[in-house]
Amino acid sequence: MSEDQNKQTDNNEALEENNTPLSPDLEAALRDAEAHAEGIESKKTESSKAQGSDQELKKLQEELEAAKKLNNEMRDGMMRARADLENARRRFEREQKESQLYAGEKVLKSLIPIVDDLDRTLENIPDDLGEDHSLVAGVNMVHRKFLHALESQGATSFHPLGEAFDPTNHEALMEAPSEDVEPGHITQVFQRGWTLNERLLRPAKVIIAKG
């Protein structure tokens, strides 16, 4: 046999040896290794997907919290605006009402001194002139008309003779001894006081009994 034929024979034998089937244990081990490798690859893929889902969920939660915060801020702002509007409405209504009640305050204050003059005139009428005298009757008539005109506009006078002194409604001019009233009470009214729709328009000027 030639040398070339011998080499061919050796090669064929080598191929036959390489094609020799593996043992069952070795084949099983190889399959387990391949399955393990595939499992690792699958877990890597699932882990990557899960990680992406967690990040997306976290982002959505952050967006939800931001939306809730914005909603609360907007709701608080609307409530404050509504409260401010309601307060403004009430203030406007109160001012309108006060404007109507006290619209004539300046005019009334300008007329009150005339009543004071008439009061002093009546107090100083000579004793020899009775109420039936034409002058006295005329002054009394004018005095009544002025009082009626003022009262028709919501003004009311008060004459606190004998009452306890009240600094919120009375203006003390002086103290004087008195046997008629208790100390700290009003012994003389120098000038009557006035209110306008229950609000003090002018305090009464008084003399207080000395203790």
Distance CA 63, CA 82 (A): 28
> What is 102-209's CATH topology?
Nucleotide Exchange Factor Grpe; Chain A, domain 2 (2.30.22)
Render 82-123 in DSSP notation, one character per residue: HHHHHHHHHHHHHHHHHHHHTTTHHHHHHHHHHHHHHHHHHH
pLDDT above 70: percentage of residues in the chain: 72
The model's pTM: 0.53
Pairing of strands 170-176, 204-209: parallel
Dump pLDDT digits (tens) for 137-189.
888 899 999 899 888 888 999 999 999 999 999 999 999 998 889 999 999 99
pLDDT above 90: percentage of residues in the chain: 25
State residue 72's pLDDT score. 83
Distance CA 201, CA 194 (A): 5
State residue 15's pLDDT score. 42
- For the ranges 17-31, 56-70, 102-116, 142-156, the maximum mean pLDDT occurs at 142-156
pLDDT (mean) for 4-21: 49
Q: Where exactly are the structural domains of the chain? A: 22-101, 102-209
Distance CA 158, CA 191 (A): 10
State residue 55's pLDDT score. 80
Dump pLDDT digits (tens) for 93-146.
777 776 666 667 888 888 899 999 988 888 888 877 766 778 888 888 999 998
Distance CA 147, CA 96 (A): 27
